[in-house]
Structure 1
Amino acid sequence: MPETLLSDLSVRPATAEDRPTVERLWLLFRHDLSGFRGVLPGPGAEFRSERLDSAFAEAGWVPYLMTCGEHPVGFAFVRGPTAPTRVLNSFFVVRGARRAGVGLRAVREILARHPGRWEIAFQHDNAPAVSFWHRVAREVAGDAWEQAVRPVPGRPELPPDVWISFVVPR
C-alpha cells in the first residue's frame, strides 16, 4: 500500500470547490492537535477555523490539497508565498497515509514551488511532528537551519510553539 500511496500522490493548489473536503480534513487536524493543546471543540463540535478561512479568502495565502487517487489525504496552507519569509501555516496528513513517505514528499513539493526563506511551527509535545520537521529541515537545508521557541500570538494560555527556519534554494 505505501508504494501505491506515493505513486498516486497529487499535491495541488486547492480550489473553492475543494473547500468542503479541506474543511473535513481541518476537523481531523484540529482534533489531532487538541491532544497536544488541551483544546476542546465548541458547543457545535467545531474548532477554531480562522486559518482555514484565511487560506481560502485572503490574498497572500495558498491552500494545497493532497490526494492519493480519489482519496483526500491531507492539506497545507502557505502564507506569504512571495513574501521575504514564507510560512507553512498548517500541514496535515491523515493517519492512514502517515509513515508512508506521503508527508515528506508533499512538503518537499510545496517548498520547491516557493523557493526562499521558510518558517514552520509545531508543538514540542507532538513527538512525531518534532521528528518529522527536523527530518524535513535536515533534508532540505542540511545543517543550515535554525530552531526557536516562540509564544503563540494572542494565546498566552497555550504553551509556546517550536519554529524551524531554513532557505529553500531556487
Structure 2
Amino acid sequence: MNLKLKEVLETEKTILQNLYSLYLHDLSKFTTLLDIGEQGNFEYEEIDDFWELDGLTPYFILLDKDIIGFMLLLERPFLKKDYDFGINDLFILNKYKGQGLGRKAIQELFKVKKGKYFVIELIENSPAVSFWKNVYSDLNIQYTEKQDVVDDEQCLIQTFTIK
C-alpha cells in the first residue's frame, strides 16, 4: 500500500466539498456551532479561498490511487507571524481510521515541509486530541500546549518544530 499527499486542484473542488461535508458532520458531534445546510449537507463556505489566497493548500490523502481523506495546510504568506505551518483540518474516511494512515500522511508532510507548526483541536474532540498526542509520541516530537478560545470554541493548541 502506497500512501501519498496530492495537492487538490481547483477542478477537483467538488470532491473536496463532499469530503468537507463528511468531515464537518463528524466534527458536529463535538460542537454546537455546526449545523446541516438547506441542501442536506454540511457546507464549508470558504472553500474557494483555497485557490484564491496564497498559503492555503488542501491535499488529498491517497492510498494507492484512492482518495481516503484530506488535509488543509496553512503556510506563508497566509500565516503572518510566529509559525511556518498550521495543520488546520485533517480527515480520514471512517473505513480507513485506526490503521495508522493519518499518522503516515503527517509523516509524508513532515518529509517535505520543515519548520515551526501549530495544530488546533476542539477540547471536546477527544479522538483528535488523542490522535495528535499519539503522533507526537510515535514520532518523538516535543511540543508545547495551551488552551485558548478560537472561533468561539475552547481549543487545545499545540506547537512544535520539525527539522
Q: Shorter-chain TM-score category?
A: 0.7 to 0.9
Q: CA deviation at 1:50?
A: 4.2
Determine if contact 1:56/1:63 at 8 Å carries over to the other structure: no
Task: Indicate whether 1:161 and 2:155 are aligned.
Answer: yes
Q: CA deviation at 1:18?
A: 2.2
The two structures have a TM-score, normalised by structure 1, of 0.83
Are the structure 2 counterparts of residues 51 and 145 from structure 1 closer, same or farther at C-alpha, using a change threshold of 3 Å?
farther
C-alpha distance in structure 2 between counterparts of 1:47 and 1:160, whole Å: 21
**1:107-151, Cα deviation, whole Å (9 max, x unpaired):** 111133210000011122222211110122233453x21111111
Task: Indicate whether 1:66 and 2:61 are aligned.
Answer: yes
C-alpha distance in structure 2 between counterparts of 1:52 and 1:129, whole Å: 22
C-alpha distance in structure 2 between counterparts of 1:109 and 1:92, whole Å: 15
Task: Indicate whether 1:128 and 2:143 are aligned.
Answer: no
Are the structure 2 counterparts of residues 140 and 167 from structure 1 closer, same or farther at C-alpha, using a change threshold of 3 Å?
farther
Structure with greater strand percent: 2
Aligned mate of 1:37, from 31, 36, 39 = 31
Q: Which residue of 2 aligns with 1:18?
A: 12
The one-letter code matched in structure 2 to 1:117 is K
Q: Give the fraction of aligned pairs with identical amino acids, expressed as a percent.
A: 22
Unaligned runs of 5+ residues in structure 1 are 1-6
Unaligned runs of 5+ residues in structure 2 are none
Structure with greater helix percent: 1
Are the structure 2 counterparts of residues 73 and 81 from structure 1 closer, same or farther at C-alpha, using a change threshold of 3 Å?
farther
**1:59-101, Cα deviation, whole Å (9 max, x unpaired):** 1121110122332111011111575511111111111111111
Task: Indicate whether 1:94 and 2:93 are aligned.
Answer: yes
After the TM superposition, list the runs of 4 or more consecutive aligned residues in structure 1 that deviate by more than 6 angstroms: none
Q: Which residue of 2 aligns with 1:3?
A: none
